[in-house]
Chain A
Amino acid sequence: KAGVTQTPRYLIKTRGQQVTLSCSPISGHRSVSWYQQTPGQGLQFLFEYFSETQRNKGNFPGRFSGRQFSNSRSEMNVSTLELGDSALYLCASSLGLAGGNAQFFGPGTRLTVL
């Protein structure tokens, strides 16, 4: 089975711009979770989607949003980028809800905001 894929792998944006990241889960997985990883903050939960519905949301501002499509692929959008948004964004897929199932992570998208 192919693993979780994320595109693009690297992005450079300037403050004020917006960005869309994409995640394709493992075939058959219905849950996709998004995390922000920075050296000082570890893995911070952004949100989880299951069957096209947002099931959970972390403590991030409304500039961070996402959606999931009928084929379980997910996108994450960040509007009005700030310098502090520079991070590695990881998505993870699981068969069911993340809490009770193993999560499989993609390689991440490295976002740099200048």
Chain B
Amino acid sequence: QQPVQSPQAVILREGEDAVINCSSSKALYSVHWYRQKHGEAPVFLMILLKGGEQKGHEKISASFNEKKQQSSLYLTASQLSYSGTYFCGTETGDSSYKLIFGSGTRLLVRP
């Protein structure tokens, strides 16, 4: 069951903030966030685990609401290099540790 990401696309001016959301219809064990630039492979940003543990880049901020089965990725003071497509991946209780990705959120940061 694919998680739902919102918004599908967002355009920012450099320095502005953005929030990307990821929601699931099932209980979550973990949520992953990756960024993919055009023509490149996805790059790991962060994992949020059930129970509160987080692993990832220091400059990346995210939240994981287990009760609401949602996660949000916070991009503050955006830079041009933040442009790309952001994917969340979720591991649900019935997926046998299978990681399923959402359809992505396209982010464009303009000067």
- Known contacts A42-B87, A56-B98; A101 and B47 CB within 8 A of each other: yes
- Complex CA gap A102/B102 in Å reads 16
**Interface size class, chain A:** 20 to 34
**Which residues 79-114 of A have a CB within 8 angstroms of B?**
90, 92, 97-108
Binding site for B on A (CB under 8 A): 33, 35, 41-45, 48, 55-56, 58, 90, 92, 97-108
Which residues of the other chain, A, contact B99 by a CB distance below 8 angstroms? 33, 45, 48, 98-99, 103
Residues of chain B at interface, number, CB under 8 A: 26
- Complex CA gap A43/B95 in Å reads 16
B103 touches A100 (CB 8 A): no
A100 touches B49 (CB 8 A): yes
What are the 5 A-B residue pairs with the smallest beta carbon separation, nearest first? A99-B91, A105-B41, A99-B97, A43-B101, A56-B98
